[in-house]
Structures are given as structure tokens and as C-alpha cells.
A and B are shown apart, each in its own frame.
Chain A
């Protein structure tokens, strides 16, 4: 029987848009940030993203990779993607120079609840490359600093040379963001904290009824961050994590990114812990 379907906003969601690399910044070993601009000014003008969302970056012949957008959503000149080289696609991107083309589909996914948690104290708790998907939320909070209470960034990497965006911390501190950094192993000149991110919670007295925790990083780290938050009586619906699964379509069609009932690509990647917890800690699920 014939079935007529309403047109969607995007004519064909499988088609990637052409973009150019306008800047590359080496961050830490194996990690670089690529600033992209769409070739078509119409596409560039119409593109909006919310903090936590990701694009599928496409290199024909290699495939697509889901990369979180790491720039300020209110900055409309270019889109930043902080990429760690991990597989064929990211290796192909890492070989590119400024001026080269890259294809983009997006934005996809759920976002950090920066709107909903106005009025709250915010704790950003992240590890390694996990600071990249949170950075747009940090920018958004800074752009509306008066709308939030205390803002604390707890961030850790394996080693001091793995700490991302260190060049920005002073600017963030100037906006009244409390930054605590830790590493798993210290280096020669490291005078900072050595230990894991969840331990950084011990330094702060948090008011459970007015604190939201946004966490992104290795799964085990997020699990223990949630544990510390829950132990301080922060409600699970006020704890947010960003889950990761390799994606093929980013639209809920291919089924690859499912965790229990959720498609990480469209129900996530940002999830509140009350929804996440029953499924995310089941082994091999």
C-alpha cells in the first residue's frame, strides 16, 4: 500500500558537505585540532550546533569518523574538531594540510544541558581527550557566566604532556572557573596533583541540591566520577556522561551504536546517569 511521507528538513541525510581546513593546531601527542569551514556559504550560514554534538568527518575511500565539535557554539567563523589519531579515517585526516578538503555530515546527537542547568553550580569532570567534547559547554557557560553559580573543572590526563588546551586555562580562570588538574604519573617539573580525577572531588564541598556534573572521558573514569557524585548525594538525573560507540550512520539506521535501548548517535552521546546506569555497567552489553 502506498505510504506518503513528509519531507524532512535535510534533503538526503547521507550526503556529506564539502568543507576546507582553515587551521590545524597540534595539541598533545597524536592529537590535533582542525578548524573547518564549509565550501558552500549557504551551508555555513545555516549550520548550528549545541555543545556535546558531533560531526561525521568523511574522507572518501577511507570512511567516516564521529568527532565531537570542540569550538564555541556562538563562534560562527569555523568549526573545531579535536582529533586523536586512532584508526584509518583519523590517520587519513592527520595527513591533511591547511587548505585541503574534508567532508562533513552533521551535527548529530544530544547535547550537554547548559540551558537546563542555569542557576546551578557546574562541575566539569573529564579525562584525556574527554575535555574536547566538553569545551563547547565550558565556552557557553563562560559566555553567560552570570547565569551559573560555582563552576569547577576537574581534569586529568595520563601525563602532564597529555593535558589538553593548557594554553586556555588562564583565560578560563579569569572567568571565575576553578580548575584542578591531575595526572596519573608526574614528570620532572610537575608540581601539580598526581592521582585520578574522581579523587579531585575530595578538594571541594559541593551542595548536592544545586550541583550538576558533566563528565566525559574513559568509561571507568566516568563511572567513578558518577560514584563520587552520587556519594555526595547529587541526584543521578543531574549527572551527565558522554558515551562512545563506533558509528556508521549517526542516524539510528545501522544499529551499530546501540547500548540497550539507546542509540548513542541519536539518544546520546550525552546521557543523564539515571538513564545510563542500568545499561552502561552491564558487561559485554
Chain B
């Protein structure tokens, strides 16, 4: 089949067979290709060789401290939303060796190890995670120092984004202006329309890969139909703020009032709510692990038994630990309240001062994966003094 040139900005349609061809083309081009798979009762990224491995017919039900998968015949390939993983772990690995030191004849030779950076294609990235990626780009690439490992892996990343057709109760991308529609930063973007897909070409590389697939040009009705998917979802999300009564037993649908949030939080550093949330918070650091933008890490030397071979390793860390902020005199943030306050004021307020955007993309993972269902939208509302929504609040 002759390759069909797919220019940037163009729209085409493909069916399930061509989606498989896309997957094959990515592997053939040297990309390890991953996509959403069901493993251990959750949807996480795994090697994707066949579209049959995608979780078609499954939906995720998310709420504070709760994640469940349900079979649903009407669910498409991508009607689930985000699981506990984001792109973070692929560019900023949980553990990475930064420096190798070998002692020969009493002298240390220190060298940077070869960066482990292989081409990676990710299928199924949502708008919130694309924004999170841009935020992490600022941290690791946009400052006075560039992290070489992140840079090398970032340059080899291929992204097949997906426009969400559905939101979980814990999603609030609309409040953070990070979705639901994908708006850039992708190589290809898919919108699922009744078992076929509208494809938008986002980059020259995306066009090259798509050229290996038998696509059909999209009609203007198809392009419009895809746009309507996002528009309807956005309208539904925006409607949450004014929803008076949610259905009995249904999870509360989240949104976050971000009006003046920077000054609101930094002007309330002694608000009693911090002590109140600290009574519930376990400082377990789940939120920081699942958060797609959290970047705190610790750096430690690991030695072999001889003591002549030392690896300097960076590992994910969390501001909820006692070791996170220290001076010679001891731990700075001694209480859970001060640590929760640090996490929230950083994520929603001082991140703006540091990087020019919010640190939160509204993915809702911190709400879903908190074992005690702490919900930052609720915490902010309490500090703002807003009344909680009609449905039951908290555990």
C-alpha cells in the first residue's frame, strides 16, 4: 500500500483495523508502544501489541478513595478516564542512576551513566496529562538547568492523544482549563466515534507514522461530530458548579473554584482547616505519587560491599515525609498539617510564582487514590468559606 502523506492539522478517519495498523507502524518504527491495559483491577499503561488488549467495554467508577472497573457493553475503547499512572514515570523514572563513581588506586572516577532513553509511543493520553507533561517540561527543561535524562527521553516520546467522551466524578479539568478537549502537544489525537476514530495530525512525525495506515479523509460532518463530543462533555462539566442535587448514591461531581486561589491560600496559612485535614491525612504520600506533576525527589548514594563502586541515585520523594525539608537543626515541617499545607499551597498557589501556571491539571487522581478520600476541591472550598455541595461531603 503506497504511503499516503498526512499533513499537520489535517483530519482523517480510521477504523479498528487501521488502529491496529497504527500500533504495528509504531512498533515497526522502533517505538515501544504502550496503551491502557487492565492489570490488577485497574487501567494502567502496558505494552500494546493488539487493539484487543485495550479495555473496550469497561468503565471506571471513581470517587474519593475509590476506584472500580465495571463491564459496560456500551463502553468504547477509551471511555475509561485516567488511572493511577500518568506519563510522569516514563520521563522521570521512579529511580534513576545519575552518577557512577569507581575508586581506583584511592582516586574516584565519576561519570554519568549512559541515559536510558528508548523511543516510546503512548496511546490514550488525555488532555489533562498532556498539560501535566507541559508542566513537567517546564520543571526539567525550562529552568537554568536541564535534566539530561528527562531531555533524552522527552525527545523520543510519541503521543497518541485521546479526546475524552466521558468524565469521572473526580475529574475537574474544566476548572483548571486543561480539558476535556485536547488542544496541542500531541503527534496524533483520536476521537472515538462509534467504533471508528477521527484522527487529527498534530506533528510531522505523527503524519509520517499515519502515512503507513490506510486512512480516509474525514468529512466535515465527522470533524464536527468529534468536536461536539468535546463540547458536550465540557458543557456537562461546567454544569457541575450549579448543580443543586446530584442523584441519590451517585458520587459528587467535582469542580474547583480557582478565583484568586493564589492569594486565597497564601493569605490563609493559619486557617484552622489545615489542622482539620491533618486529622484525616495519613501522610501516606499516595497523592504525590499519582499526581502527574509532582516532581520532588531525593538523591542518595548506594554503594556495593567493597565501597569502591557507588551509584548516586535519584528516587521519587514526597513533601509528606519528615526528611523532605530539613536543616541542620532538624525537620522544618514537623506536623502533618504543615506538610499538607505545603503540598496544597505549592500545587495551587506558589507553583504559579515558580512556573507561571497552576501545578494542578484537574485529573482527580489525588482524590481517587487517597485512602481517606481527602478531596482538595473540598479543602479549598472550606478555606474559601464556601458551603459544601448538596450531596454528602467526606466520609
Choice from A11, A13, A61, A254 contacting B314 with Cβ under 8 Å: A254
- The interface residues of chain A lying within 8 Å CB-to-CB of B154 are 2-3, 5
Chain B at the A interface: mostly helix, strand, loop or mixed? mixed
CB distance from A43 to the nearest CB of B (A): 13
One of B110, B155, B350 near A4 (C-beta < 8 A): B155
Interface residues of A in 83-107 (CB under 8 A from B): 86-87, 101, 103
Please report the total number of B residues contacting A with Cβ < 8 Å. 69
Residue B196 CB within 8 A of the other chain: no
Within 8 Å CB of B325, what residues of A? 245-246, 256-258
8 A Cβ contacts from A234-265 to B: 244-246, 248-249, 251-258, 260-261, 263
Interface positions, chain B 103-144, Cβ under 8 Å from A, are: 103, 106-112, 137, 139-141, 143-144
Q: Are B301 and A253 in contact (CB under 8 A)?
A: no
CB contact between A3 and one of B155, B300, B312, B337 (< 8 Å): that residue: B155
Q: Which of B146, B203, B296 contacts A8 (CB 8 A)?
A: B146
Residue of B98, B103, B185, B299 near A1 (CB, 8 A) is B185
Q: Which of B98, B143, B155, B353 contacts A2 (CB 8 A)?
A: B155
Beyond A14-B148, A253-B145, A256-B325, is A248–B297 a contact (Cβ under 8 Å)? Answer: yes
The answer to whether B148 and A12 touch across the interface, beta carbons within 8 angstroms, is yes
Once bound together, how far apart are the Cα atoms of A4 and B303, in whole Å?
Answer: 35
Contact in complex: A61, B301 (CB < 8 Å): yes
A144 to B297, CA, bound (A): 42
Minimum CB distance partner of B134 in chain A: A3
Q: Knowing A15-B110, A251-B143, A254-B317, say if A61 contacts B310 (CB, 8 Å).
A: yes
- Shortest Cβ distance from residue B297 to the other chain A in the assembled complex, whole angstroms: 5
Q: Are B139 and A256 in contact (CB under 8 A)?
A: no
Proximity bits, B192-211, A CB within 8 Å = 1, else 0: 00000000001101100000
Residue of A with least CB distance to B206: A1
A116 at the interface (CB under 8 A from B): no
Shortest beta-carbon distance, B69 to chain A, in Å?
30
Task: State the interface size on chain A (CB cutoff 8 A).
Answer: 46
B326 touches A246 (CB 8 A): yes
Would you call B319 and A255 a contact (CB within 8 A)? yes
Could you tell me the distance in whole angstroms from the C-beta of B32 to the nearest C-beta in chain A?
Answer: 15
- Is B242's beta carbon under 8 Å from chain A? no
Our pick among B145, B158, B186, B319 for the contact of A251 (Cβ within 8 Å) is B145
Most buried by A among B145, B186, B269: B145
Q: Does A284 contact B (CB under 8 A)?
A: yes
Bound CA span A218–B367, Å: 40
> Is A60 part of the contact surface with B, judged by Cβ < 8 Å?
yes
- Whole-angstrom distance between the Cβ of B288 and the nearest chain A Cβ: 10
Judging by beta carbons under 8 Å apart, are A285 and B298 in contact? no
B residues in contact with A255, CB < 8 Å: 295-297, 317, 319, 324
CB contacts (< 8 Å) of B301 on chain A: these are 60-63
A246-B328, A284-B338, A285-B269 are known contacts; what are 6 more A-B pairs with Cβ within 8 Å? A15-B112, A60-B310, A61-B101, A244-B328, A254-B314, A266-B144
18 contacts between A and B (CB under 8 A): A2-B203, A3-B157, A5-B155, A14-B312, A16-B110, A61-B301, A103-B101, A244-B328, A245-B332, A253-B297, A254-B297, A254-B314, A256-B298, A256-B326, A257-B325, A258-B325, A285-B338, A285-B342
